[in-house]
Amino acid sequence: MSETIERNLDFDTVIERRHTNSIKYDFAAEFRAVKAGEDPYGLLPLWVADMDFKTSSFIQDELVRIAEYGIFGYTAPKDDYYETIQNFYRRRHKYIIEDSKWIIRIPSVMFALSMAIKAFTDVGDYVLIQQPVYMHFADVIINNDRKVESNNLVYGEDGRYHIDFEDFEKRIVRNNIKLFLLCSPHNPVCRVWTREELERIGNICLKHNVIVVSDEIHSDFVFEGTHTVFGSISEEFANNSIIVTSPTKTFNLAGVQVAHAFIKNPTLRRAFRKQILATGNSEVSIQGLASAQAAYSKGEVWLDALLKYLKGNIAFIENFVRENLKGVKLVPMEATYLAWLDFNGTGLSPKEIEDRVRNRARLWLNNGILFGKNGEGFQRLNLACPRSILAEALNRLKVALG
């Protein structure tokens, strides 16, 4: 078979992930069965954000090649590794990484957020986020002995979330904020922030000397609007920010642990690197490096096919919710493959919603409260799965809600 042909373009086939030490499936089976004697695998897991699809065959082949070589020693990439990343972001996001020195290899996006918190804030400081937001933003702040401050997003009458810019600035001033963790595109509310919104945020941060760490791990999953890399907006923004990305979300590689921070400002870069060195964990595995290079150089045929399939899943869930789930709203999915479902119109309490989802529908979703108190009554559903699985999940919800 020719190595120039992408082989893994079947997204409909259900791949058995049980008994593979999968957090998504086996953790659910071990810890989330709710009644004695029930089949633990009867709980359908659509929670944690990895996909139920095989990654690009080019990535698979590269990992097989490394395994067959049989030596897994310390590995450092050459210039072509960085060129591959630079070319990918130029092609797909019109983002120019002028110098490979901007690129810092790291194990994960959350590792980068932790390093930034340590580098640019002090114990006891407040760090600003925008809830409801990925739950580990708050976790990493608290676990580093800092305090969470939230400029809560506003759930508008148009069904979309918006930023309260006045409140954003007030919280910065009131709590002497030094660091803001931006989620762009936003997980879980699916917003693709417009250039104008990002400019307003960025200008407020410049005015008050607040460094921006922009988590852009979902930037390849944009279905409405255009993703703007925060650091691409202006020279001032580039010098006041750390852009964090990874191929792991895009190419379903979470287990190989590889990510990148793009830092133009050499002063910020040195402070960030210093914290990495302090951990004693400054290297990325040979599998992570190889996966990233194969993904960014050869994986775009697979990625484009994946995006087309996910668009179909989004259309499917939009139609199903509208026609079958009375009182439930789907927040418009501008980005990500994580549906944010609003159950507040059902008349059920948050506790009753969780009971219907978990015990009647036998689904493991993410309870909205995990993303902040303003997530009550919401559930996050991962739709990056074969459509037959998505249909099964939604039909279970339909029955459970009556």
φ/ψ (deg, to 5) at 222: -115, 125
Band (4; pLDDT cuts 50, 70, 90) = confident
pLDDT at 33 over 60: no
65 within some domain: no
10 within some domain: no
DSSP H or E run through 181: strand 179-183
> In the structure encoding, which two tokens stand for residue 125, read together?
């400081």
174 within some domain: yes
For the chain, give the mean pLDDT. Answer: 95
DSSP H or E run through 380: strand 378-382
Where b means 16+ CB within 10 Å and e means fewer, 93-118 reads bebebeeeebbbbbbbbbbbbbbbbb
Per-residue pLDDT reduced to its tens digit, 119-174? 999 999 999 999 999 999 999 999 999 999 999 999 999 999 999 999 999 999 99
d(C-alpha 117, C-alpha 277), whole Å = 15
Tally the domains of the chain.
2
- Rounded to two decimals, the pTM is 0.96
12 within some domain: no
CB 10: neighbour CB atoms within 10 A?
Answer: 12
Q: What percent of the chain has pLDDT over 70?
A: 96
- Residue after which a domain boundary falls, among 298, 326, 355: 298
State the pLDDT at residue 37: 60
Per-residue pLDDT reduced to its tens digit, 345-367? 999 999 999 999 999 999 999 99
Per-residue pLDDT reduced to its tens digit, 194-251? 999 999 999 999 999 999 999 999 999 999 999 999 999 999 999 999 999 999 999 9
Same domain, 271 and 307: no
Same domain, 293 and 367: no
Beginning with the edge strand found earlier in the chain, give each strand of the sheet holding 378-382 in spatial order.
Answer: 329-330, 338-342, 378-382, 366-367
Per-residue pLDDT reduced to its tens digit, 308-320? 999 999 999 999 9
288 within some domain: yes
Per-residue pLDDT reduced to its tens digit, 57-83? 999 999 999 999 999 999 999 999 999
3 within some domain: no
Same domain, 331 and 288: no
Same domain, 104 and 138: yes
38 within some domain: yes
64 within some domain: no
Residue 217's alpha-carbon distances to 109, 250, 261, in angstroms, are: 8, 8, 11
Same domain, 102 and 220: yes
Same domain, 273 and 311: no
Look at residue 155 and give its three-state secondary structure: strand
Same domain, 184 and 196: yes
Domain span at residue 338?
Answer: 23-56+300-401
- Residue after which a domain boundary falls, among 298, 330, 355: 298
State the pLDDT at residue 2: 45
Per-residue pLDDT reduced to its tens digit, 159-199? 999 999 999 999 999 999 999 999 999 999 999 999 999 99
- Residue after which a domain boundary falls, among 298, 316, 346: 298
- Domain CATH code at residue 34: 3.90.1150.10
Q: Please report where in the chains the tokens 């994986």 appear, as a residue.
A: 299
Of 362, 371, 301, the C-alpha closest to 342 is: 371
Q: Where are the alpha helices (DSSP H) in 208-285?
A: 235-239, 247-250, 266-279
* Mean pLDDT to the nearest integer, 371-387: 97
